[in-house]
Amino acid sequence: MGQRIHHAHYDVVVVGGGASGIAAAAAAARNGSRTLIIEAGPILGGELLSGMSLDGVLNARGEYVVGGISDELFAECRRMDGFIGPIHDHRLICYVCVDPEVMKIAVARVLARYGVTPWLYSFVEDVVADDGTVHSLAVVNKRGRTIVTADQFIDCSGDGDVAAQAGAPFEVSDRTGQLQPISLMFRMSNVQTGSLLKFAQAHPDSLAVGESDYIRGRHTDQELVDKLVEQGQPSLFFKSEGPFLGDAIRRGDLAPTALIMIQPTSARRKEVCVNATRVGGDIDGTDTRKLSATVATLMEQAWQTSVFLKGHLPGFEQADFAGLAPRVGVRETRRIMGDHVLSKDDVVSGRKYPESVVAKGAQHVDIHQSGTTQIRIPIANGGSYDIPFGCLLPKGLRNVLVAGRCLSASREGMGTARTMGPCLAMGQAAGTAAAMTRAAGLAEVRQLPMADLHGRLREQGAVLDGVH
């Protein structure tokens, strides 16, 4: 390990290479800043690579509520035959499915297009700040320690590591002290969609459908399952209240879980992603010892679920276990408190903030709990909600923005804005604002005229208007 201390300076430094971080870095570089993205892991993409659908990109009416960098990623996926496209779950939302293997390359292409410098295998371990200004980050990697200075910092670490260390206030959980469980996705290939959908159509009582008034209308479960099946995609959610999953849990074939979520990842490989495992309800994802201790259990749950599906679910008889997500997934840690705190009421009422909107979301409030329970609250009228700029501005900090899972929100607000659509949109807004602030020579990002930021975001494909 090198012992020398190195130094580096960039205009904008983004910490964390998940959905929000890659969008922030691409947007900052696109808008003229020399941009560095620092990622602790070996690859950029974060949870975007786990195989799950991108939620919150469209509202339940099928209208896009996020654009810009997300469009560029989708276009790259399409070029490589890895874009499956929007699917309606006839339960609560529409989502976008992509091939996560192709998404890895799409992310690398978009960042290279704008000239972003990536530092992988690099962990931000310390923050030097005084009086609300961050001066530098201490980054550790095999080269040793590097002190990185910048004009603007964007915290996309998911956990709010930079903002919290710089002194911004934050919250974890709520009065309940609960945290959403840790899960591990896995994929199965050679799934026969026809048999799977035939089984679904014959067992509507086992499937989660029509959970919002907007989608339910006057439809029966059977009608909603028929609509689901008409799409021809291996995309369905088995609910713990239904016989298929409920009986399996009661027999001890599966660990307790709220849903088995099955979504397509590749038509060519006949492959799906399965989201069904869970551990905890009280595990702090920033406690590395506790987080690491979940891995073996989650792997066993993933294997057990794959064996169960092969043995019990038509369409899976010849399926192969095709791989685990790159890492266990953490849904909930710190929420950094900012100028605006996105509330439950903001999201479920589909509130609009035309003066200050910088991103939108559309996924229901989705708070997984332990055992078989999960809170799911739909957005009014199948619409969307606005995320105001203040959700990205940590209280008391001048040159730091947050984006992604660690945004300023209540537990319920985060329970929807944490999905990948809004994370990409928040990242784009934060990167654009940081670059514009620097280019204008402003002392802090709060001095940036909103009209200028709105103009630039619209010009570059962001969705800021309407969408119900």
Ligand X SMILES: Cc1cc2nc3c(=O)[nH]c(=O)nc-3n(C[C@H](O)[C@H](O)[C@H](O)COP(=O)(O)OP(=O)(O)OC[C@H]3O[C@@H](n4cnc5c(N)ncnc54)[C@H](O)[C@@H]3O)c2cc1C
Measured CA to CA, the distance from residue 382 to residue 359 in angstroms comes to 17
Measured CA to CA, the distance from residue 175 to residue 154 in angstroms comes to 29
Strand partners, 444: none
Could you tell me if 430 and 439 are in contact, meaning their C-beta atoms sit under 8 angstroms apart? no
* CA geometry: angle 128, 165, 6, nearest 5 deg: 35
Least Å from the CB of residue 403 to ligand X: 7
Q: What are phi and psi of 89, to 5 degrees?
A: -90, -5
Least Å from the CB of residue 23 to ligand X: 8
Residues 6+ apart with CB under 8 A from 246: 239, 240
- Chain Cα centroid distance, residue 218: 32
Q: Which residue is nearest to ligand X (CB)?
A: 18
Give whichever of 29 and 52 is closer to ligand X, judged by the CB atom.
52
Measured CA to CA, the distance from residue 395 to residue 338 in angstroms comes to 5
Give whichever of 94 and 457 is closer to ligand X, judged by the CB atom.
94
Measured CA to CA, the distance from residue 350 to residue 385 in angstroms comes to 4
One-letter amino acid identity for 75?
Answer: A
Give whichever of 90 and 331 is closer to ligand X, judged by the CB atom.
331
Could you tell me if 161 and 153 are in contact, meaning their C-beta atoms sit under 8 angstroms apart? no
Site residues (vs ligand X, CB under 6 A): 15-21, 38-41, 46-48, 52-56, 123-124, 156-159, 161, 183, 275, 329-331, 404-405, 418-420, 423
Measured CA to CA, the distance from residue 339 to residue 341 in angstroms comes to 7
Give whichever of 383 and 404 is closer to ligand X, judged by the CB atom.
404
Give whichever of 215 and 423 is closer to ligand X, judged by the CB atom.
423
Least Å from the CB of residue 384 to ligand X: 14
Least Å from the CB of residue 359 to ligand X: 12
Least Å from the CB of residue 455 to ligand X: 26
Give whichever of 27 and 423 is closer to ligand X, judged by the CB atom.
423
Provide the 8-state DSSP code for 121.
S
Measured CA to CA, the distance from residue 188 to residue 302 in angstroms comes to 11
Take residue 90 and report the two structure tokens written for it: 């006839």
Strand partners, 58: 64
**Which residue stretches of 275-342 are H helix?**
288-312
Give whichever of 49 and 448 is closer to ligand X, judged by the CB atom.
49
List, as one string, the DSSP characters of 39-60: -SSSSS-GGGGSS--EESSB-T
Least Å from the CB of residue 443 to ligand X: 26
Give whichever of 313 and 403 is closer to ligand X, judged by the CB atom.
403
Least Å from the CB of residue 46 to ligand X: 2
Least Å from the CB of residue 389 to ligand X: 17
Give whichever of 411 and 454 is closer to ligand X, judged by the CB atom.
411
Least Å from the CB of residue 460 to ligand X: 19
